[in-house]
Chain A
Amino acid sequence: MDTRLSSEQQALVDVARRLTERLGPDGVVSLDDDDRVARLDQATTEAGWRRLRDDDGDGRPLASGVEAGIVASALGQALGDTALFGPLLAADLLRRVGIDAPGAFTVALVPELSSLAVADAGRLPAAVAVDALGATSALALLPDDGGFALAAVPIAGTERSFDLTRWVSSIPAGTELEEIAGSRTLTGDDILEVEAFALSLASADLVGIMRGALELTVDYAKSRQQFETPIGAFQAVQHLLAEAKTLLEGSISVSQHASWAVDALDAGEAREAAAVAKAYCARAAIEVCEVAVQVHGGYGNTWECMAHVYLRRALLSVSLFGDDGVQLAFLAARRMGV
Chain B
Amino acid sequence: MDYGDSPEEGAFRDRLRRWLTEDRSWSSASSTDDEYWTRQASWHTALFEAGFFALAWPKKWGGQELHHTFEVIVDEELARAGAPPKPSLGYLIQGISRFGSEELCDRFIPGLISGRDRWRQGFSEPDAGSDLASLQTTAVLDGDEYVIEGHKIWTSYSDVAEWCLLLARTDPDVPKHRGLSVFAIPMNQSGIEQRPLRMINGVSNEFGQVTFDGARVTAENLIGEPGQGWALAMTIVAFERQPAELGYVARYAKTVSELEGDVRSDPDSTRREIAEHIAWAHVQSEMLRLHVCRRLSERLDDPDGGVHGSIDKLLMTWTEQSVGQAARHAAGSATSQAGGDSRLGTYLYSRSQSVMGGTSQIQKNIIATRVLGLPSN
Contacts and interface: CB of A to CB of B under 8 A. Distances in A.
A227 B131 contact: yes
A298 B338 contact: no
B361 A161 contact: no
A234 B340 CA distance: 35
A160 B338 contact: yes
Contact of A298 (B124, B273, B329, B334): B124
A161 B335 contact: yes
B328 interface: yes
Candidate in B202, B274, B335 with the most chain A CB atoms within 10 angstroms: B335
B271 A329 contact: yes
B334 A162 contact: yes
Contact of B200 (A231, A302, A318): A302
B344 A315 contact: yes
Contacts of A237: 361
Contacts, number: 112
Interface in A292-335: 293-294, 297-298, 300-305, 308, 311-312, 315-316, 318-319, 323, 325-326, 328-329
Interface residues of B, number: 40
Contact of B360 (A161, A294, A303, A308): A294
B198 interface: yes
A202 to B, nearest CB: 12
Contact of A315 (B197, B271, B328, B364): B328
B332 A112 contact: yes
Contacts of A130: 336
B292 interface: no
A226 B361 contact: no
Contacts of B333: 111-114, 128, 319
A303 B336 contact: no
A64 B124 CA distance: 52
B154 interface: yes
Given A162-B335, A325-B273, A329-B273, A293 B359 contact: no
B338 A303 contact: no
B336 A302 contact: no
B165 interface: no
Contact of B131 (A112, A226, A308): A226
Contacts of B58: none
A163 interface: yes
Interface in A67-81: none
A39 to B, nearest CB: 24
B129 A162 contact: no
A188 B258 CA distance: 39
Contacts of B128: 226
Name the interface size band of chain A: 35 or more
Contacts of A170: 337
Contacts of A56: none
Contact of A297 (B199, B335, B355, B365): B355
B342 to A, nearest CB: 12
B337 A161 contact: yes
A153 to B, nearest CB: 16
Given A162-B337, A163-B335, A329-B271, A303 B361 contact: no
Contact of A162 (B199, B271, B338): B338
Contacts of B127: 225
A204 to B, nearest CB: 18
B153 interface: yes
Interface in A43-87: none
B130 A227 contact: yes
B10 interface: no
- In this complex, the member of B127, B128, B202, B337 whose beta carbon has the largest number of chain A beta carbons within 10 angstroms is B337
B339 interface: yes
B308 interface: no
Contacts of A120: none
A162 B337 CA distance: 6
A294 B332 contact: no
A300 B355 contact: yes
B352 interface: yes
A304 B196 CA distance: 12
B355 A301 contact: yes
Interface string B179-204: 00000000000000000011110100
A236 B365 contact: yes
B177 interface: no
A128 B336 contact: yes
A128 B197 CA distance: 33
A311 to B, nearest CB: 8
B200 A303 contact: yes
Contacts of A159: 338
A49 to B, nearest CB: 22
Interface string A231-252: 1001011001000000000000
Contact of A301 (B131, B200, B335): B200
A319 B124 CA distance: 37
A304 B271 CA distance: 35
A203 B375 CA distance: 43
A293 B338 CA distance: 22
Given A170-B337, A301-B200, 11 more contacts: A128-B336, A161-B337, A226-B128, A300-B351, A302-B200, A305-B200, A308-B348, A319-B333, A319-B336, A329-B271, A329-B273
10 contacts: A111-B333, A160-B338, A162-B334, A162-B336, A168-B336, A226-B128, A298-B153, A303-B197, A303-B202, A308-B200
